[in-house]
């Protein structure tokens, strides 16, 4: 009942962050002292996952290079006696067992998940959308894995959003069976407030049943445009339990400039050395 593999769909175009993302993977933008993608990978590892599966696309080579050895750099650091940095670089390449699968066309999140089929076949797997960075005591994926281990089935992260934000997200419907845990019976993609079944929005963390794969295949057969993960999960709830868990923690959407900037400020405020710098700039003192 544990979750050993975690999928990272990172093949999106990142249009909300243009022109930066014209040539740069948004997942490689820095959050204080390491790239955004590193936070997601650390979360997966801390949640018990052993294999990281990146679904990549054009202009994402830098992610592969980041998690790989860099012999030239390591050699120079060693020769110059910068051993702390040298071991830090080695650690990055050894921290995770990463597999890369290319999504040839950005045909949607559902299609990206389907690209992971050769590796995740037949078992429950995690999905992390690394744009959503969570700050808090317990990793959000770990919160979902615990519910999966206790209740079985698929689990998705939920956040209660305001009236204005309902139309920006996939919104879940279902019955609250325990405080903060819903048994889902459906979901609507970006509804008008009047049509929304709840205020609980689906955020970028999932534990998914292997049964999601045939449902995504079915969509692929009929779909003209993007293949939506939400559509397949809406089908999945008809045959298997899907739980929605209101996560504990604070989320930053680092796929937008505002969210990315906010996350940097928050994380810098939590850093002993950087805290004073931020306060000095903000207060002008």
Please report whether residue 141 would count as binding ligand UTP according to CB under 6 A: no
Which residue lies nearer to ligand UTP by CB, 129 or 208? 129
Q: Among 54, 58, 65, 55, which residue's Cα sits nearest to residue 23?
A: 58
E strands in 118-229: 125-128, 132-135, 154-160, 170-178, 181-189, 200-208
Q: Which of 230, 255, 267, 268 binds ligand UTP (CB under 6 A)?
A: 255
Concatenated DSSP letters of 30-60: EETTEEHHHHHHHHHHHTT--EEEEEE-TT-
Between CA 215 and CA 7 the distance in angstroms is 17
Which residue lies nearer to ligand UTP by CB, 170 or 244? 170
Q: Which of 3, 6, 7, 12 binds ligand UTP (CB under 6 A)?
A: 12
Least distance between ligand UTP and beta carbon 130 (Å)? 6
State the burial class of residue 138 (Cβ atoms within 10 Å of its Cβ: 0-12, 13-18, 19+): middle
Least distance between ligand UTP and beta carbon 40 (Å)? 9
Q: Which of 11, 144, 158, 188 binds ligand UTP (CB under 6 A)?
A: 11
Please report whether residue 218 would count as binding ligand UTP according to CB under 6 A: no
Number of residues counted as binding ligand UTP (CB under 6 A): 20
Span 77-106, contacts to ligand UTP by CB under 6 A: 103, 106
Least distance between ligand UTP and beta carbon 108 (Å)? 5
Cα distances (Å, whole numbers) of residue 60 to 21, 55, 220: 10, 10, 24
Residues that bind ligand UTP (CB under 6 A): 9-17, 55, 103, 106-109, 111-112, 129, 131, 255
């Amino acid at each position: 009942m544990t979750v050993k593999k975690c999928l990272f769909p990172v093949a999106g175009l990142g249009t909300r962050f243009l022109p930066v993302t014209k040539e740069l993977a948004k997942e490689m933008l820095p959050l204080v002292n390491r790239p955004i993608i590193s936070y997601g990978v650390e979360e997966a590892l801390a949640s018990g996952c052993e294999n990281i599966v990146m679904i990549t696309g054009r202009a994402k080579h830098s992610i592969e290079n980041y998690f790989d050895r860099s012999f030239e750099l390591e050699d120079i650091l060693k020769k110059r006696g910068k051993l702390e940095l040298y071991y830090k670089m080695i650690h990055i390449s050894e921290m995770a067992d990463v597999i890369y699968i290319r999504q040839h066309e950005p045909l949607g999140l559902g299609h990206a998940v389907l690209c992971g089929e050769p590796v995740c076949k037949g078992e429950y797997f995690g999905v992390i959308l690394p744009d959503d960075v969570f700050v808090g005591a317990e990793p959000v994926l770990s919160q979902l894995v615990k519910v999966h281990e206790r209740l079985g089935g698929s689990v998705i992260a939920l956040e209660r959003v305001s009236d204005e934000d309902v139309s920006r997200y996939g919104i879940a419907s279902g019955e609250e069976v325990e405080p903060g845990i819903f048994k889902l019976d459906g979901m609507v993609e970006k509804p008008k407030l009047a049509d929304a079944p709840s205020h609980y929005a689906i955020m970028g963390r999932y534990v998914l049943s292997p049964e999601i794969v045939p449902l995504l295949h079915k969509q692929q057969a009929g779909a003209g445009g993007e293949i939506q993960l939400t559509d397949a999960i809406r089908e999945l709830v008809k045959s298997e339990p899907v739980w929605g868990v209101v996560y504990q923690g604070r989320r930053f959407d680092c796929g937008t400039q505002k969210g990315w900037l906010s996350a940097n400020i928050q994380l810098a405020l939590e850093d002993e050395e950087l805290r004073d710098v931020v306060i000095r700039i903000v207060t002008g003192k």
